[in-house]
Structure 1
């Protein structure tokens, strides 16, 4: 039944876009794709960082979108929107779901997003985590409201050398979770310093906090306006919070510091970036300073070159503020320690830093397999301690565009139970876009990926995409 529905819907969308796009203010896109592999699952990079749209199995899928960009960039007020969905057929499960559904209002340099909107892809999509260790492009967009600056804004007291960018957002975690009805608070603040005509520096911080909702184990969590203010300010919980939240901070905090250097040259542009995670005071005070995502990106400013862009990354999360562990005193009270930060997991918010079964941060953090109720219980303990290298490049071989990524990951295991030998994984990805031939109304992309090592099954996969795009 779903197969017939997807087929009819695909043909309808294709005919609709061809028939009405020329006289419509809308933009349309339709993609048909199929993925297969030698195992029951797909290789790592065929599913990771795909905004949660690619199931981890052999499948055929359709992706459709209706959208409109900001029409008058020079105007003080403008509006954009998008609605997109994915439907797929797989041997064990077929599904259809919304990818993005949002409207955006822009007034001068301020933007208000309402709904589910994907993150902008940075560094040509070559980064393993979109340049941010805690917020990648690995999951579906989370619904909510986000007020942000559209770009870096000049500060009136330092127009020549200092600019700022910020956001303030509230989201609803509407997947199946250990804490039903949990909410997500997010804010960020970044400063851009203009060092000279060619060099600039960005420093800033992201702060997320899961709060509210009802836990099957711990009951209803604090959710009053006073509790919301505690979440916003990163304060400890009140008398109705569990004891650990009274001693530490209310809710589940996930944050990151960012440092970035940007160079603009005559023949190349390059960016160096550093993204450092924290979940408590020890991380905020840099006791886990070794843990971070380091990246270096080069734009050769020749879009049609053999290598147009090149990226290298190193990610390390083994330290976790040291080996000191929490405990229980003789009187039953908790003993708080500064160590074993256990990134992306939480005792109360047991689904951790995941959404619809995928890790919200770097996809190197492996999420647990959902239980029989469809609930994901965080990321695999011990697999959140790893070291990873990533190299990515794109460019053209004659008139064929390509994108390639090569990653090597070493997983160490948990402090008291480290893997021996360590689990190592090499994963690669190659995608090519064929030149449009014979004036066909679609573009063809194809590619392959493979995994080898001792962490995931040795696996080779391939995919084929047909993309129909009619813009006004």
Structure 2
């Protein structure tokens, strides 16, 4: 992390020396957040989809300060760099670098290096109102990575703007800095130095300027690979039990999923090396005057059976509808989403791995977000995907696992701007939990989670804004919680 900071500050400094003021921007931002309340955990939406700045503790706080630099060059070249430092009370880390990145772009193509807030890709959802992505999104602190991407749709030449595409490829590292070792209890396993890979491709069919209907389709795949697995002993020391490959071949197998070799566990040799997961993404957009109606589907998978829909196209995933209303004072957008992860290719349990009996179709109990080597698809205790499936930070036994990944949920989000200075947001979610196939809950458990937030952006104090929120959760999975959150932000221009 120190090398990354030195590199980015060098880039920033050299660019400032050469900068021409009219093509350069340098801004700062400061954010102070505090929560207080009662309950075992903070209300879910005080924590979920806040890029890891929220805490599961009902009483917590943080201070974040950062700068962002941008410069536009000739011929479509541009550069952007940012640095955010944060510290907090009852956070996963006391003091940490939240963002540190450099983006180097030419026209629509960007090379992004470092840790940066990324709202979710490639399917676009309303990050303020949606419950979140299923594979990865804003529910965790940014994962450090090197990422090549086309962030916005690029029209395919010769199609008269009827066909466009976007996508990315990234490699990085889960830089948890020993968090798992401190979190787990003696007798439990944890991993260190795990590597990250993701890639996506999304196509858009349609030209809204000539016809009011657009169709989007694409795929996102992500992988945990490499790293070491340890056992925490009773005296607090650790014992390495597994060393996964981190050579060039391992990077290739993360990009193009293949079975592991003899230096990997048996499960990797008959399945795919590493923890691979992903989603198919579909969206239909309809434009009517100032109205926009968007329907979308994210179909989640963890192996070939769900990837190729051998157990039903619509069993597991998230469906959603977003309505963007004509400009008015009371409601800007509304989102409804339905979530189901209960199927998981069925409940078949057996002693063995898929692939040992090629004459039979044996593929079930996909155990979403959990993995026998890497523990869970998580970062610093928070699930990489949708927060309605709470991650390891909510485990009383401190295990690196998802205690319940068989979930059905409904979610509603509404926001509006009653005046130029006042805005509001409301999130309401209801989820039912069954645990996992291997370890089911003693009964079906239910959880209601809600957020009611008002934001004030005064004209008389340019650059300042304040948000006050009430969180109200009720249920027998995460328990009851009531709390308040206050967030104060200040942004300004240095150059």
Same fold (TM over 0.5): yes
| Equivalent pair of 1:295/1:312 in contact (CA under 8 Å) | yes
SS at match of 1:45: helix
Distance 2:136 2:131 in 1: 11
Partner of 2:139: 138
Partner of 1:259: 282
Distance 2:140 2:399 in 1: 13
Report deviation, 1:51: 0.4
Closer, same or farther in 2 for the Cα pair 1:149/1:67, shift >3 Å?
same
Closer, same or farther in 2 for the Cα pair 1:47/1:161, shift >3 Å?
same
Residue 127 of structure 1 pairs with residue 130 of structure 2 = yes
Distance 1:104 1:62 in 2: 25
| Equivalent pair of 1:288/1:319 in contact (CA under 8 Å) | no
Closer, same or farther in 2 for the Cα pair 1:70/1:127, shift >3 Å?
farther
Distance 2:274 2:426 in 1: 39
Cα deviation 1:402-449 (Å, max 9, x = unaligned): 011100001122336644541111111011112416547632211111
Closer, same or farther in 2 for the Cα pair 1:369/1:51, shift >3 Å?
closer
| Equivalent pair of 1:136/1:363 in contact (CA under 8 Å) | no
Closer, same or farther in 2 for the Cα pair 1:298/1:89, shift >3 Å?
same
Partner of 1:199: 213
Partner of 1:98: 97
Aligned 1:228-267 pairs, distance under 5 A: 228-267=251-290
| Equivalent pair of 2:435/2:441 in contact (CA under 8 Å) | yes
Partner of 2:297: 274
Structure 2's unaligned 5+ residue stretches are 1-20, 181-189, 231-239
Partner of 1:182: 194
Report deviation, 1:169: 0.6
SS at match of 1:38: strand
Residue 367 of structure 1 pairs with residue 391 of structure 2 = yes
SS at match of 2:254: helix
Closer, same or farther in 2 for the Cα pair 1:324/1:43, shift >3 Å?
same
SS at match of 1:123: coil
Partner of 1:4: none
| Equivalent pair of 1:354/1:376 in contact (CA under 8 Å) | no
RMSD: 2.9
Structure 1's unaligned 5+ residue stretches are 1-20
Aligned residues: 441
SS at match of 1:249: coil
Distance 1:200 1:440 in 2: 39
Cα deviation 1:103-140 (Å, max 9, x = unaligned): 101112100100001113741510001xx311121100
Cα deviation 1:51-102 (Å, max 9, x = unaligned): 0011222123212121124546x85100011111221124x98712111110
| Equivalent pair of 1:218/1:348 in contact (CA under 8 Å) | no
Partner of 1:34: 34
Partner of 1:414: 436
Residue 284 of structure 1 pairs with residue 307 of structure 2 = yes
Closer, same or farther in 2 for the Cα pair 1:164/1:294, shift >3 Å?
same
Distance 1:204 1:269 in 2: 21
Distance 1:157 1:247 in 2: 44
Distance 1:444 1:371 in 2: 32
Residue 357 of structure 1 pairs with residue 381 of structure 2 = yes
Partner of 2:415: 394
Distance 2:153 2:41 in 1: 42
Aligned 1:298-313 pairs, distance under 5 A: 298-302=323-327, 304-313=328-337
SS at match of 1:148: strand
